[in-house]
Structure 1
């Protein structure tokens, strides 16, 4: 019998995103790597979260950084518990709005590979030059046309502890270098992740593991990305104020005169 794996699950729910935590946690407990010991590291500014007294739920205070820094700076958050994460066999990150809907077992664990990534549901059948890679040469996430193999989504990734901690440290460094140069990658942490995996060994999951709620894809849904419009939408969840009519008008005027 194989040794029980120790699994660290990284989860960020600052601001209004804590509304997703209870359902995520309950479905993870039911469906995700049930032959392993799972520990949840929850980065949040919520006063309390569901089942926070469980000895496998580790609540870590994280203030809301605002958009896009709540997502861009995720690797910096994870670095804060790096020593603790070294104790685990595998580390996985999942977006706050992910929900397990079917059993996900050890078939996802990287064995020969070091990392785990999942194909983006919107680009699994597109050509490489159609991928939304960052084409800005000033960014460390830059990928020129003609390079790259796949496009992965930042919603679910992980790997063996040593390999994923290496990813965390490298991407935190690259993001901070970009910020020092007044650059933010096109799709933030996701752009950095896509650049990082070029030339790396990774286990690749199909889009069924990050299946957008309400989509019709030729994959079996294992983990769904919940439709945020049912929870106030991206703008509201991110704390971004909807621009007023005057602000929209100013934006249009600025665009016209900048052409």
Structure 2
């Protein structure tokens, strides 16, 4: 087992289309990918002094109504249970943040941000938001940063076994599917262009040491801006750029889709638990 340096904590910045989660902690790190391979009892939740959990991104009223409260409630139930947590919500509607009774040692803070006009830009510009947040203060406070989409619901224990230097998540929809079905960006004019790859990663969950996360988000942001200058937009926006970066810079840990599963996919013999579930999408309402 590895141990975090006592001088710094772990910060997990969860950013989605609309918001994310920020956490810090101290304690030992264990490693597990599939529940069926390494039982939970050999990966106990580390003893921690401090855990922060905050959110970042852009929220409109629909996202607040549809996703924020279930996300926070499920995080309270399953995410780093027993450790102090502070949720940071970055939103353009701070007065609309719902009230929620949090557990002992857990708090919520709200920070107002500017509004983007398109959901695609909300999704892509989060890469700059993460980079700026890390540069501004996170790198002084943490060792690790993780990013999660908000339109998800925690459904099982999500613990320190997921930590690593550079962590990526296998996209559940493409799990065990032939590579010919991977939806990499195939436009040679885009900075996200890929003619081949090894896995297809889900941008709903990624993280690692703050230096590695900053490298990823800064590279993705620069690629997005070069695409904008050339009047190009990657197929799956920031996720396309993330897959390009992780093809060129291999992650040190790859999480199984149990860490972000979609129930409509159905049963898989090697997925024994669901730790995070895609929330029911309301695209017609949320994107119009």
Of 187, 192, 200, the residue aligned with 1:141 is: 192
Residue 55 of structure 1 and its aligned partner are, at CA, apart by 4.9
Query: 1:170-218 CA deviation, whole Å, 9 max, x = no partner?
Result: 1111110111010110100110000000142331111111112444131
1:182 partner SS: coil
Cα 1:62–1:88 shift into 2, 3 Å: farther
- Whether 1:129 and 2:133 are equivalent positions in the alignment is no
Residue 38 of structure 1 and its aligned partner are, at CA, apart by 3.9
CA distance in 1, matches of 2:85, 2:227: 34
1:129 partner SS: helix
- Whether 1:85 and 2:138 are equivalent positions in the alignment is yes
Specify the structure having the higher radius of gyration (Cα). Answer: 1
CA distance in 2, matches of 1:58, 1:6: 20
Of 204, 226, 230, the residue aligned with 2:279 is: 226
Structure 2: gaps spanning 5 or more residues = 15-19, 21-56
Residue 35 of structure 1 and its aligned partner are, at CA, apart by 6.2
Query: 1:8-54 CA deviation, whole Å, 9 max, x = no partner?
Result: 33313511211211221222132123365544332322223235997
Q: Is contact 1:9-1:40 (8 Å) kept?
A: no
Residue 84 of structure 1 and its aligned partner are, at CA, apart by 1.7
Equivalent runs, 1:164-175 vs 2, <5 Å: 164-175=213-224
Residue 101 of structure 1 and its aligned partner are, at CA, apart by 0.8
Q: Is contact 1:121-1:211 (8 Å) kept?
A: yes
Q: Is contact 1:51-1:57 (8 Å) kept?
A: no
Cα 1:91–1:156 shift into 2, 3 Å: same
1:29 alignment partner in structure 2: 76
2:64 alignment partner in structure 1: 18
2:202 partner SS: coil
TM-score, normalization: structure 2?
A: 0.73
Q: Is contact 2:91-2:110 (8 Å) kept?
A: no
CA distance in 2, matches of 1:6, 1:58: 20
Query: 1:109-153 CA deviation, whole Å, 9 max, x = no partner?
Result: 01xxx2211111111111223210001111111111xx2110011
Query: 1:81-125 CA deviation, whole Å, 9 max, x = no partner?
Result: 232221222211111211111111111001xxx221111111111
1:182 alignment partner in structure 2: 231
2:111 alignment partner in structure 1: 59
2:96 partner SS: coil
TM-score, normalization: structure 1?
A: 0.80
Residue 59 of structure 1 and its aligned partner are, at CA, apart by 2.6
CA distance in 1, matches of 2:117, 2:214: 22
Tell which deviates more after alignment, 208-217 or 98-107: 208-217
Cα 1:161–1:56 shift into 2, 3 Å: farther
Q: Is contact 2:145-2:208 (8 Å) kept?
A: yes
Of 250, 256, 266, the residue aligned with 1:200 is: 250
2:122 partner SS: helix
Structure 1: gaps spanning 5 or more residues = 241-259
